[in-house]
Amino acid sequence: MNLKPLELGRSVQGKPLNAFYFEGRRFSGRPLVLLGGVHGDEIEGVWLMEELLSTWSSTPPSLEMDVLIWPRVNPDGVEAGARWNARNVDLNRNLPTKDWTPEMKNPRYPPGPHAASEPENKALVSLIERHQPRAILSAHSFSKYQVNSNGPAREWAEALARVSGYPVTEDIGYPTPGALGTYAGKEKLIPTITLEIERGLDRERVLELHVPVVEAAIAYWENKEMN
């Protein structure tokens, strides 16, 4: 299995936006994209993606399909322990969706001056356009843990719910203009899951519970291809 490091761009503070492309043995192109660290204070998703990257780099898995891991979409925020990027923009309210608005209805969710204004989201949009993912899983954390499904992802979400024990939702409970679920899932019809890991779990517990969830996410699409 080939591993290709990718530098997708630079963050506001100039940190490299590093992703890693693992080539599968049978089904090339259109990778499953795994994201962590969109919100820098939701460290659970970063732990999960960096554990997968570390394990796979030393002991390559037997992947049938391509998988792209981007562990720190918002490296400035991760380093600062902050939800936003270094320009105080919520990256998950800044994508170029049809419902994007510059109005900041809640100070927790600043959308930025215009859609896709931030270098991190420019890189994400470019990644989606270039690689045409078959599916996207973005790991966040939330007190209301859930497998949030957008686009044609309900069956996939239910498969992950059986592993995680989390409920499946299609509405997180409040408006999310400029969010990835809308941009990729609802508008581009890419099966998209926001995995809201239970916030506050320690690292060991996150990995114990959710490495199998990601493995199930991969197995679901590999089985789809083979059947």
Place of tokens 């380093």: 79
pLDDT of residue 1: 62
**Residue 101, CA distances (Å) to 90, 115, 142, 165, 170 in order:** 13, 8, 24, 35, 21
Give the orientation angle of helix 203-226 with respect to helix 154-164, to 10 degrees.
140
d(CA 166, CA 141): 12
pLDDT digits (tens), the chain, 227 positions: 688 999 999 999 999 999 999 999 887 789 999 999 999 999 999 999 999 999 998 888 889 999 999 999 999 999 999 999 999 999 999 999 999 999 998 999 999 999 999 999 999 999 999 999 999 999 999 999 999 999 999 999 999 999 999 999 999 888 899 999 999 999 999 999 999 999 999 999 999 999 999 999 999 999 998 77
Residues with Cβ < 8 Å from 179, sequence gap 6 or more?
92, 93, 95, 97
pLDDT of residue 172: 87
pLDDT of residue 28: 77
d(CA 90, CA 107): 10
**Residue 114, CA distances (Å) to 67, 89, 187 in order:** 31, 11, 18
CB 196 within 8 A of CB 146: yes
pLDDT of residue 69: 98
Instruction: Output the pTM of the full model.
Output: 0.97
d(CA 33, CA 24): 13
